[in-house]
Structure 1
């Protein structure tokens, strides 16, 4: 940001767990300017605690020109696959197996999960009509047509859509076979950052988060959504960002919250040496290739992680994800 660039402040309205409206000041810049700056910023090695912006369109295997590049098997590691009972073995490169897994996933994503009747429901919800019409109600949230239309292609998801979806994940986790889950409201991180632990202490008065396997924290930074995943089975706090950004400051604040929450609710001190904090790198996770889909990526990271599934989707699956999310919110259940 140039010295002459003026940063304005806006009031971001948030609702605490107790039902009172809270206000917190956040620096506000032009959304397109902020997103464009993130894309134009080149990857750089930075000291711990500094923000690092990754450009998913610039270098590495995620660049569109490199994704379709013909691989040279002689330059790849080769593994030997033995077929039980056949007495034969066959050599395959890692990329062969990776391509096969991705192909299977793509076929599954293209399967007729959205029927013609479902498609009609989705079109009706995204179509014209009074913006204040309530299309779905649950979890003390009302989703209006205006909210739902943030799930149109190229639109940015709002807080209500993400909060509703996170609640659907929490509800699903109560079924057998799923890891126990707690999801925080999208305003939790903003409130914690502005007011410290005391401002969010009562948010967990009805739940012991240390009894959950996974805790999900959606994070809103200016005009960008990301996710923090606390896995208490592995004692890890991990930052997931669909633009490849690394925010160790976010991790530090969340872990500090865990320490204070543990001391206040259990009278137990968390030993930082027993916990691992890290940011997922751009090479490890799927990235958005535009400036619009961070909210969808945040929701789908949470979905796959809560199911214990490999996160092997990509940008091409987002249009289908958006449609499914409309139907899921309408019917208050996940597909």
Structure 2
């Protein structure tokens, strides 16, 4: 019988910390959520970043022998990109993130592990949301990505920047997606369970903390920003580029979040993909809504994204186990 491999990939270490706090707390997770079979959390500051390991590995039972395509077990690996990055580089460097992602996704460069394609990839993190109404503390889940590189026309190109012909395009979900069974996966029970566990962020929280999920929600990514002050203009530029693309489409797609990393994770694998974004601020209000209380605002919103991930994991496991029956 085959095994399946699910990856939950967080961007920054503080996002991974909040996620792990949820996954190791029984009251935050569904009943019978397993304890990890491998645990590397908390990670010490002097860890071996050249040979990264997942923060945790969870083992779930598969569909058994009675299925047409039996799955013996599903392993869920929780990774943090920053854990694998060179600490001498900016933790926001897109180029460095792209360098290390194959180690996480395909296990490239590991002698002890053969190259192995994942069966599902979830990108998890925090981001901003457009408009005057605050959705701070809410969580958006989707599967579209759109990447904007604000330096794509720079001459000569900066050698520290990542560049790709894939920017400026909308990437829709693969045919095999949890959103193909959206009514079953994202049902009222899921919403009730996760929303009652959300933590209210301290700065300008949403009037009601909700989880919103749809296949066409789009993670708009801004690459090559290492100075947080540049969010003031780069985020707005990315939003305009996304809207320009949307105007030309017959079927419009809504934005799910604006951040830096979901899109580049999506580009590294053809596996079924989704993103989970905890909203920390309104676009254009980063300094006011995150910068004033960064630890508390970021932790609460990353925690809420972690709660959604925790309750989605068993449903994704079931989806992969019965796929093809």
Shorter-normalised TM-score: what interval? Answer: under 0.3
Larger relative contact order (CA 8 Å, sep ≥ 6): 2
Larger Rg: 1
Q: 1 or 2, which has the higher helix percentage?
A: 1
TM value normalised by structure 2: 0.27
